[in-house]
Amino acid sequence: MKLLILGGTVFLGRHLVEAALARGHMLTLFNRGQHPDVFADVEQLHGNRDGDLAVLQGRRWDAAIDTSGFVPRIVGMSAETLADAVQHYTFISSISAYANFSAPGLDESAPLGKLTDERVEEVNGDTYGPLKALCEHAAEAAMPGRVLVIRPGLIVGPYDPTDRFTYWPHRVAEGGDVLAPGRPARPIQFIDARDLAAWTLYMVEAGQTGIYHATGPDQTLSMESLLEACKIISKSDARFTWIEDSCLLETGAGPWMELPLWIPESDGSSAGFMRVNCGKAIASGLTFRPLAETIWDTLVWDATRLADRDWRAGLKPERERYLLQVCQGQQFSPDDV
């Protein structure tokens, strides 16, 4: 197939390109040219999606995959420009598109988030999900019946620029006393970017359309299982201290970014955020590599990065020591459920 990837040089885009090349597809990447050394042998067209799409005109591809759309107006312009140039358009959305996560088991029919003012284009924690939902609508409006929407959960693995998963293999490998947030048996979900890329390409090749969740694994995974796996794989001497939500909240610990994969369970409003129903995607061929492989490959990639870099997520060492000291009396037993 002749494929156009909008993006293609950062994280999921890189894995999509690597997988597509391995399958023998002919690729064109459209991006801003900020990573010129990545896939230098692949055709790359440079431009800004916000009004600078002329370089795409007059070309044809079998399908396009949009990995870099966050603003509906811009996604709409891209899809409209490509409406006569491709037969199929894949938009990478997010499970954050939903309005309410209070109930576990959300499927693809759940209500989507809305913005009071749909002209808003600033992407932040409050607008990210509703904007993704509007992007989905914009793509479908431009190419009715030809759009595949994929709503991933947390995407993890090598090349992840967010550190939201990498923090845990890295921190556990360092050993010592490790602050483990919340209830040990708390369910978590994420997907290796390589599994997402491989399945996305399979769906594109099959010409599938519609909306699909994409997170995993295909069995319940707990935070304790993840951390114990990190310990085994890194052969560390890590000692986990499980701290209750209440103390973490009282001391101002930040969910999700300061403490990746931690969402307080106290108010129940996010009970379904990492318990999303992915049965539709699994029935359509989504598979998951072993957790150990994701952890190991993330550690190997992490070791190639600068040691003194600034982490974008995770506790700073002094902050972790402070929280452990303050919250020693409010611990979960590893057997708590």
pLDDT digits (tens, 9 = 90+) for 313-328: 999 999 999 999 999 8
Q: Tokens 């309005």 sit at which residue?
A: 99
**Is residue 284 included in any domain, yes or no?**
no
Residue 316: which CATH number? 3.90.25
Domain boundary at 129, 152, 175, which?
Answer: 152
Q: Which pLDDT band holds residue 267 (cuts at 50, 70, 90)?
A: confident
**Is residue 208 included in any domain, yes or no?**
no
> What are the backbone angles phi and psi of residue 82, rounded to the nearest 5°?
-95, 0
Give the global pTM.
0.96
Strand 155-156 relative to strand 88-92: parallel, antiparallel, unpaired?
unpaired
Distances (CA, A) of 121 to 26, 134, 171: 33, 11, 35
CB atoms within 10 A of CB 240: 18
**What residue numbers bound the domain in which 305 lies?**
167-188+218-274+292-326
- What per-residue confidence (pLDDT) applies to 266? 87
**Is residue 91 included in any domain, yes or no?**
yes
Same domain, 172 and 49: no
Same domain, 227 and 89: no
All residues at 6 or more sequence positions from 183 whose CB lies less than 8 Å from its CB, including other chains: 223, 242, 245, 265, 332, 336, 337
What is the identity of the amino acid at 131? L
Same domain, 19 and 54: yes
**Could you please report the per-residue DSSP string of 233-266?**
HHT---EEEEE-HHHHHHTTPPBTTTBTT----S
- Give the residue among 220, 183, 182 at the shortest CA–CA distance from 104: 220
Q: 210-253 pLDDT, tens per residue?
A: 999 999 999 999 999 999 999 999 999 999 999 999 999 999 99
Q: 119-150 pLDDT, tens per residue?
A: 999 999 999 999 999 999 999 999 999 999 99
Same domain, 7 and 130: yes
CA 135/CA 92 separation, integer angstroms = 10
Higher pLDDT, 73 or 331: 73
Kindly report the average pLDDT of the chain as a whole number.
Answer: 96
- What per-residue confidence (pLDDT) applies to 328? 83
Residue 127: which CATH number? 3.40.50.720
CB atoms within 10 A of CB 303: 10
Same domain, 230 and 148: no
Distances (CA, A) of 73 to 61, 80, 115, 145, 325: 23, 11, 14, 19, 49
**Is residue 332 included in any domain, yes or no?**
no
CA 91/CA 66 separation, integer angstroms = 5
Q: Tokens 């359509």 sit at which residue?
A: 284
Same domain, 106 and 176: no
- Overall size of the chain counted in residues: 337
Q: Any idea what the Cα angle at residue 292 is, between residues 39 and 96, rounded to 5°?
A: 65
**Is residue 162 included in any domain, yes or no?**
no
Q: Which pLDDT band holds residue 194 (cuts at 50, 70, 90)?
A: very high
Mean of the pLDDT values across residues 18-36? 96
Domain boundary at 152, 179, 208, which?
Answer: 152
Same domain, 111 and 230: no
**Is residue 249 included in any domain, yes or no?**
yes
Same domain, 117 and 231: no
Same domain, 17 and 137: yes
Distances (CA, A) of 61 to 72, 226, 310: 22, 41, 40
Q: 82-120 pLDDT, tens per residue?
A: 999 999 999 999 999 999 999 999 999 999 999 999 999
CA 268/CA 128 separation, integer angstroms = 21
Same domain, 83 and 56: yes
Same domain, 137 and 225: no
Q: Any idea what the Cα angle at residue 154 is, between residues 74 and 100, rounded to 5°?
A: 75
Please give the tally of structural domains in the chain: 2
**What are the beta bridge partners of residue 89?**
64, 147
CA 142/CA 80 separation, integer angstroms = 5
Whether the per-residue pLDDT at 330 is higher than 80: the answer is no
Q: Tokens 């360092």 sit at which residue?
A: 174
**Is residue 178 included in any domain, yes or no?**
yes
Whether the per-residue pLDDT at 335 is higher than 60: the answer is no
Same domain, 175 and 113: no
Q: Which pLDDT band holds residue 21 (cuts at 50, 70, 90)?
A: very high
Mean of the pLDDT values across residues 281-290? 98
CA 157/CA 130 separation, integer angstroms = 26
Whether the per-residue pLDDT at 167 is higher than 70: the answer is yes
Q: Chain-centre distance of CA 230, in angstroms?
A: 20
CA 139/CA 193 separation, integer angstroms = 23
- Give the residue among 107, 103, 87, 82 at the shortest CA–CA distance from 1: 87
**Is residue 303 included in any domain, yes or no?**
yes
